[in-house]
Amino acid sequence: MSSLFSTETDATPAPPPANMIIDSDQTSFMADVVDASREIPVLVDFWATWCGPCKTLTPALEKVVRAQGGRVRLVKIDIDKNQALVAQLTRMGLPLQSVPTVVAFWQGQVADTFSGALPESEVRRFVEGLLKMAGSAAPGAELIAQGKEYLEQGDAESAAQHFAAAVQADREKPEAWSGLARALIALGDEEQAAEVLAGVPEKLAEHGEIAGARSALALAAEGRKAQGARAGLEARLAANPDDFEARYELATALNASGERDAAADALLEIVRRNRAWNEDAARLQLLKFFEAWGFDDEATMAARRKLSALLFR
């Protein structure tokens, strides 16, 4: 898609900040790795030209490091050209008997290691763990947290910008995709929200965050239709409290207006009066509300308690 909130990646990745990905050797190892790690976490990639798995791991490492935007450095060491260094580090206890091996340094000390060609997702988790230990959250996590704050404050445009940047930083964060879709819904741009959800990576498609955003999008469309008829729906209910269709549609209109407690109460009233109405439609719609609002939302938790009291009385 092409817009202010595009989640497409550029064909050519942006270069990493200066000196974030470098080749080093035994003469500069102390400066490039040990000393540098007192300021920033450093990953050391021990590799060899004859190593097949290295050809897979090194590009994944470089991609993950670039995505961190300067929060971590990658130093590459060719073991065949630096045999004295490898021997010295092995005597110090580092497991360099096979390659690829990655050693993480922080504050001049070895912080963690792994061997073998891990998939990119595992490399990302390794780096995020290192950053967390170093007290530096991954940029995607910070952007998501900021986006959520803006959304709670009603600043949907700023929220959308932060969530879009979070998607760019890490396309495997379902909270970023979900947040971007929800912010666009709040901006009234349901078409683009649908495009965002259509672009979610396949392996995230069934994640609860994504399912909740889809429900929010569906409810927004329903609510827009119901809001225009709200006065008429309220009049119908005043004339006939058992007009369940009117009460059901009013709940959708109330939800679209952000009146979550009132929306839930309208559906709960249907359950109280006639749970079986329209094949349990009120309860099912309420569950859809819960999914859209989030299961830890205050309105969700309050309505869930009321629903339990009705169902198990």
In tens, the pLDDT along 201-257 reads 998 998 889 999 999 999 998 888 888 888 999 999 999 999 999 999 999 999 988
pTM confidence score: 0.57
Per DSSP, helices labelled H in the chain are 29, 52-67, 83-91, 120-133, 139-152, 156-169, 174-186, 190-198, 208-227, 230-239, 244-256, 260-274, 281-293, 298-311
Q: Return d(Cα 25, Cα 145) in angstroms, integer.
A: 39
Fold for 21-133, please state it: Glutaredoxin (3.40.30)
Cα atoms in the Cβ-side hemisphere of radius 13 Å centred on 198: 8
Query: CATH for 139-221, among 1.25.40.10, 3.90.950.20, 1.10.10.10, 1.10.1270.20?
Result: 1.25.40.10
51 given a catalytic annotation: yes
Locate CATH 3.40.30.10 in the chain. Answer: 21-133
Is residue 3 scored above 60 in pLDDT? Answer: no
Q: Is residue 4 within a helix (H) or strand (E), and if so which, with residue range?
A: none
Kind of pairing, strands 101-106 and 109-115?
Answer: antiparallel
202 given a catalytic annotation: no
115 pairs with which residues across the strands? 101
Provide the pLDDT for residue 153.
87
Q: What angle do CA 167, 17, 75 make, to 5 degrees?
A: 105
Out of 43, 44, 54, 250, the active site residue is: 54
Is residue 23 scored above 90 in pLDDT? Answer: yes
SS3 114: strand
Say yes or no: domain 228-311 is CATH 1.25.40.10: yes
Out of 21, 40, 42, 51, the active site residue is: 51
Locate CATH 1.25.40.10 in the chain. Answer: 139-221, 228-311
